[in-house]
Every structure is written in C-alpha cells, then in structure tokens.
Amino acid sequence: MNSIINDIEIIKSETTKIHDVDFDNLAFGSVFSDHMLECNFKDGKWQAPKVVPYQAISLDPSAKIFHYGQSVFEGMKAYKDANEDVYLFRPLDNFNRLNISAKRLAIPELPENYFMDGLKALLEVDKEWIPKQDGSSLYIRPFIFASGNGFHASPANEYKFLICTAPSGSYFSGKVKVLIEQTYSRSANGGVGFAKAGGNYAGQFYPTQLAVEKGYQQVIWTDDTSHEYIEEAGAMNIFVRINDTLITAPTSDRILDGITRKSIVELAKAEGIDVEVRKLSVHEVVEAAKNGSLKEMFGAGTAAVISPISGFGYKDEDFELPELEETFASFLKKRITDIQTNKVEDPFGWRYKLD
C-alpha cells in the first residue's frame, strides 16, 4: 500500500520480519529492518527519494562501484526514550560529512531535504524497529555509490543513495588490546582519510588481521611518513589520558572528523576536564606508560560511542593500563548516551527529536 510522508513516497512491505527478532540479543548490524530509503542520481540530478521494502539491488557487472570504488557512507543511530519518543544525535553533522566525503570522491552532493525528510519518513515507517532496551539503538547506514556502467576510469554518471537500518545492541563489550602500527598506514597526506570512503576501511583489514594473529584486537594507526605520531584507533578516533589531561589528535586530511570525537571534546571541556587537541607522539605515550602517568586510552565512534583500551603493544613490548575505579571513558560515555536517549538535559543542542 502506497502513501506519502514528508513528501516522500512510501511503498510498504507486505510482510514484516520484526516478530522473528530477539531484541534482547541483538548482534551489531546483522538484522535489518523492513524498509529502506532509495534515491537515484541520473540525467544530471538526484531523482525523488522513496521508501521501499528492504530488498536486494541489481547492478551491471560494469557498474563503476566494482572497479573504481566510488562509495561513501555514514553511521548514525536512532533512540527511543521512556515515552516512546524518537531521537537522533547531531544528524545534520552526518549529512554535512556525507557531502564532504562525496565531493572528495567526485560523487554528486545530496540535497539536505532528501537526506533529512527521507530519513524521517523511513524512521516513521519502521518506528517499531527502534529498540527500547538499555544500550540498544537503531543503527542507521546512509551510503552513496556509483551505479553507472563502464570500464573507463572516470566518475560515474549514475549513483544510488540508500539508507538502511539495523536494530543493534552494543558494538563492543569489554576492553580491547591494541597494537601500535609501525609499517602500514590508514591514510596519507592529500588522500581521502578524512572522508568516510569504503576503501579506507578495506585497507585497514589486512593490518588488523596481522595484529589479531599476534593477540591484539585492533590497531592504533600512526602517521604515514614517520610512524611517530598517534592518529586513530581501528575505525575510531582515539583519546589518551595522561595524568588528568585528555589528549586527542587534531583532524586533518588523514583523520576523520568524528562526530563522537568532537562531542567528547566539547563535553569534557564543559565538565572541567583539561582537554588538549594536539599531535601526540608514540614516544610520549610509551614514556607515560613506563612512568605511570598514562591513565586511560579509548576509541570514540558512533557504533561503540566509547571503547576502552586495556593495553597496547609497541615494538615487541606490551604495556598494561591501570584499572581505575572511576574513568573519563565511563563518565563521558554515560553523559553522551544519557543525552542521546533523553535521560538528561541537552545543553549543547545535539539531540534531534523526530515529530
């Protein structure tokens, strides 16, 4: 049955999978909601978006996504509060970053109303898929890829924009042990490290596999030339606490401008925590671990919010972080998730209520 929400055409699924889902035991990003948003770029412009049943898509083998990697994506979440009201967290930041990424990969930028009105329509249709359990949320994946055909090495003339959603529990559980990378690089000066391009993540998988074989769960990425400065942790931004100062690397064309990252910086400053946004050398971290001033390390990103690090390896030596009763990581994670789920006031204006 077709309908219209926010000027978006809705084509409803004839069946639902929701009754087969165990919402108390959700793996991250493995169960998908009934509908998705679809929008095509052709004839030089974005066509009207519509909500359709979640389904497979058909592409020609010569579609340029397969050959030249024009693909960008975002990660967001929707939350329900105790009154069943639905909230997003800084959605316009995701929209703006999607277009920043698209521009860098020569993908046509998307109109804001297509993104926001389409997302609202999709969430209205699949509202029952948003979990209410503590720590759970509806993960939202907007993405754009080249669907135009041809083997010529050039930007495509057609693209697809989709938003798919997946009810999910916590992304990580427990602390992770990481290896400081000294050979491989996540990104380089002048490259696409600042963009959420699919290829950035594909390039991380092999070095991460090597780290896992050595007994670590993730990699800490260092700069591409000297490998002397810490930049990111796995697919997340990284924070390091030395004594009572929280340090994170400045964003650049190598480092993603993480929405959780900048929220942590702003929130920590508001809570009176000393925050430094500066280059941080591996040597400084190792020395802090040796002299006892290294208190915490944690990754920050949409999926996990904050992922504590228990220890790190560097040049065949392992360093364990202390077990603290009260940590910046747990304090800041609770503050952010409480804002996201409408449990506390939002003095920053980050929370976005869906009407």
Block residue for tokens 């503590």: 134
Is 220 in contact with 226 (CB distance < 8 Å)?
Answer: no
Same domain, 128 and 183: no
CATH number (domain holding residue 10) = 3.30.470.10
Asked whether residue 304 is domain-assigned, the answer is yes
Rounded distance between C-alpha atoms, residue 79 and residue 148, angstroms: 35
Q: Which of 168, 195, 213 is the last residue of a domain?
A: 168
Over pLDDT 90: what percentage of the chain? 92
CATH of the domain at 256: 3.20.10.10
Residue 349 is assigned to a structural domain of this protein? no
Domain count, the chain: 2
Q: What is the 3-state secondary structure (H, E, C) of 255-292?
A: CCCCHHHHHHHHHHHHCCCEEEECCEEHHHHHHHHHHC
Q: Answer whether residue 107 is part of any domain.
A: yes
Same structural domain for residues 207 and 318? Answer: yes
pLDDT, tens only, 178-231? 999 999 999 999 999 999 999 999 999 999 999 999 999 999 999 999 999 999
pLDDT of residue 6: 83
Confidence of residue 173 (pLDDT cuts 50, 70, 90): low
Gap between the Cα atoms of 171 and 66, Å rounded: 28
In a domain, 262, yes or no: yes
Domain that includes residue 83, residue range = 2-168
151 and 98, same structural domain? Answer: yes
Prediction pTM value: 0.96
Looking at the chain, the number of H-run helices and the number of E-run strands are 7, 21
pLDDT band for position 156 (cuts 50, 70, 90) = very high
Instruction: Tell me which of 140, 168, 196 is where a domain ends.
Output: 168
With respect to residue 116, please indicate whether it lies within any of the assigned structural domains. yes
Place of tokens 């069943």: 84
SS3 206: helix
Rounded to an integer, the average pLDDT of 323-350 is 96
Same domain flag for 187 and 145: no
100 and 230 in contact (C-beta within 8 Å)? no
Amino acid at 72: V
**pLDDT grade for 169, boundaries at 50, 70 and 90:** confident
Q: Chain centroid to CA 328: how far?
A: 21
pLDDT class of 162 with cuts at 50, 70, 90: very high
Co-location of 44 and 121 in the same domain: yes
CA–CA dist 18, 39 (Å, integer): 25
pLDDT(315) > 80 = yes
224 secondary structure, DSSP code: T
Are 246 and 160 members of one domain? no
Residue 185 shares a structural domain with residue 290: yes
How sure is the predictor about 175, in pLDDT bands with cuts at 50, 70 and 90? Answer: confident
Could you tell me if 182 and 251 lie in one domain? yes
- Say whether both 114 and 245 belong to one domain: no
**Calpha distance 74→140 (Å, rounded):** 8
Assigned domain for 353 exists: no
- Give per-residue pLDDT as tens, 263-297: 999 999 999 999 999 999 999 999 999 999 999 99
The Cβ of residue 227 has, within 10 Å, a number of other Cβ atoms equal to 17
pLDDT at position 122: 98
Beta strand pairing call for 218-222 and 229-233: antiparallel
Contact 78, 136 (CB under 8 A): no
| Pair (217, 285) in one structural domain | yes
Are 189 and 67 in the same domain? no
Tell whether the torsion through CA atoms of 56, 58, 63 and 67 is positive or negative.
Answer: positive
**Do 285 and 234 lie in a common domain?**
yes
Per-residue model confidence as pLDDT tens digits over 122-153: 999 999 999 988 889 999 999 999 999 999 99
Q: Which of 168, 201, 227 is the last residue of a domain?
A: 168
Of 69, 270, 43, 261, nearest to 155 by C-alpha is 69
Tell me if 350 is assigned to some domain: no
Inside any domain, residue 291: yes
